[in-house]
Amino acid sequence: MSFQVCFTIGWGNIPPLIGVSRLFTLVYAALGVPLTFAVVSNFGRFISEGYGVKFLFLSNFCPRKNRGEDERQQLAFKDAAALLLTHQFIGIILFNTWYGKVGILEAWYFIWVTSQMIGFGDIIPDPQSLFQAITMCIYFAIGNLFMQAFLLSVCYHIHRAYFVIFKMYLFKLQYYLQKKFGETN
């Protein structure tokens, strides 16, 4: 339940039923959700800025260029999508073998909705042991990190595209105004 509350998934299979437990859940969520999002967004940013993947897997093999403090490397959209799709492919296999057979489309839907922290509750996991429950929580926590990295990468590229288009528009507007009214400098 604490995983569902802190990650704001809320599948609905373990609700608090009495007043005291509901009050405790409110306080717990008020403290746990912001802390969870702070940690997840920092890890997602770490991955999306390219430090995570390259640092973890390639730092011992590939020399790094010296970069200035202001110069950041952003994870390419294709790399972020590859991380997310690899994670989801592994999840589809897990949810059709080890965690039970739910079907490919249902497994992908469930993994996507849970990683996005939506949690409609229409498909609820049913771990058969404590080990399965723990690995499920770890799997979805990692999936949430990859989803955050993917969404940050998408936002970064939309932001860049917007400013490129906006700068072109402003440049053309400035050129038009200078031609129309003359240069006032």
What tens digit of pLDDT does each residue of 114-150 get?
887 777 677 888 888 999 989 998 998 888 888 888 8
| pLDDT given for residue 185 in this prediction | 52
Check: CB of residue 99 under 8 Å from CB of residue 136: yes
Domain boundaries, the chain: 2-62+74-181
CA gyration radius, the chain: 22
Which CATH architecture is the domain 2-62+74-181 placed in?
Orthogonal Bundle (1.10)
B/e letters for 133-163, b = 16+ CB within 10 Å, e = fewer, are eeebbebbbbbbbbbbbbbbbeebeeeeeee
Residue 180 CB coordination number (10 Å)? 7
First-last CA distance in the chain: 66
Comparing CA positions, the residue from 179, 141, 160, 180 lying closest to residue 47 is 141
| Residue located via tokens 């595209």 | 161
Distance CA 180, CA 185 (A): 14
In order along its 185 residues, the chain shows pLDDT tens digits of 777 777 777 776 777 788 888 888 778 877 887 788 778 777 777 776 655 545 544 444 444 555 554 445 667 778 888 888 999 999 999 988 888 888 888 888 888 888 877 776 778 888 889 999 899 989 988 888 888 888 778 877 777 777 788 888 888 888 888 888 876 55
| pLDDT given for residue 112 in this prediction | 84
Check: CB of residue 92 under 8 Å from CB of residue 112: no
Check: CB of residue 47 under 8 Å from CB of residue 53: yes
| pLDDT given for residue 89 in this prediction | 94
| pLDDT given for residue 176 in this prediction | 87
Which tokens hold the place of 93?
């296999």
| Residue located via tokens 């489309």 | 105
| pLDDT given for residue 90 in this prediction | 94
DSSP secondary structure letter of residue 31: H
